């Protein structure tokens, strides 16, 4: 079972590229995203979710041992290749990942200059129901009908965290937190790749 870590600035197009890459490949690859895993815990393990929810409501980070325990249980009988999306986010999590035997074989960074991240965030809209992402104002992934989700027909909205001040804060956090993660995991044996997503999206997709 090979393991891949996918990273990228919020708004760099990581999710869109991943969705396209995964088309028809569900039998070969398994995406492990913390948001999805936590949603599953909420539905299937009320006791653990109550503990996690209390931690998050107190403004604290969920301990790494809880996160890694969830991942370990989830991948217990998994035979497909794993794509980690959104974890690890910090140096401590990267070190814990190595300790638990989940160190990736490869790291793929989807890169986009900061000014384009800000621009794309201003153009992004998400479905208010299914959360599918689109771009407007001439973007590369517009909805077929303005303001309406192609998949479920719900209204498209602009997320509060796509405001410019919030985006710039996230960019600073990415610089501070993610590059040390890449360095730690590279030293542990992962091969790092960088894909420039600033030009043609199809070209980036072909390199993914």
Taking only the tens place, the pLDDT of each residue in 77-109 is: 889 999 999 789 888 889 989 988 889 999 999
Closest CA to 93 of 59, 118, 68: 68
Beta strands in 3-103 (DSSP E): 3-8, 29-33, 81-85
Residue-level pLDDT at 120: 84
Mean pLDDT across the chain, nearest whole number?
88
pTM above 0.85, yes or no: no
Q: What is the pLDDT of residue 141?
A: 81
Q: Which residues of the chain have pLDDT under 50?
A: none
C-alpha distances in angstroms, 208 versus 32, 33, 194? 17, 18, 9
Instruction: Give CA–CA dist 2/129, Å, rounded.
Output: 33
Note the pLDDT of residue 32: 92
Q: What is the pLDDT of residue 61?
A: 75
- Residue 98 has what pLDDT? 92
Share of the chain above pLDDT 90, in %: 45
């Amino acid at each position: 079972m090979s393991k891949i870590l996918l990273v990228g600035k919020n708004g760099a197009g990581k999710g869109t590229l991943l969705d396209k890459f995964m088309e028809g490949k569900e039998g070969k690859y398994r995406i492990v995203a913390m948001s999805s895993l936590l949603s599953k815990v909420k539905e299937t393990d009320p006791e653990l979710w109550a503990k996690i929810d209390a931690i998050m409501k107190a403004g604290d980070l969920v301990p790494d041992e809880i996160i890694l325990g969830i991942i370990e249980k989830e991948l217990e009988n998994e035979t497909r290749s794993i794509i980690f999306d959104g974890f690890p986010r910090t140096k401590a999590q990267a070190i814990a990942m190595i300790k638990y035997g989940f160190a990736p074989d490869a790291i793929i960074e989807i890169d986009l200059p900061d000014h384009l991240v800000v621009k794309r965030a201003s153009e992004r809209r998400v479905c208010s129901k299914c959360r599918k992402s689109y771009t407007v104002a001439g973007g590369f992934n517009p909805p077929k009908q303005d303001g309406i989700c192609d998949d479920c027909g719900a209204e498209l909205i602009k997320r509060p965290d796509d405001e410019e001040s919030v985006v710039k804060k996230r960019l600073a956090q990415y610089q501070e937190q993610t590059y040390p993660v890449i360095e730690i995991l590279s030293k542990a044996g992962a091969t790092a790749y960088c894909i420039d997503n600033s030009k043609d999206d199809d070209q980036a997709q072909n390199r993914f």
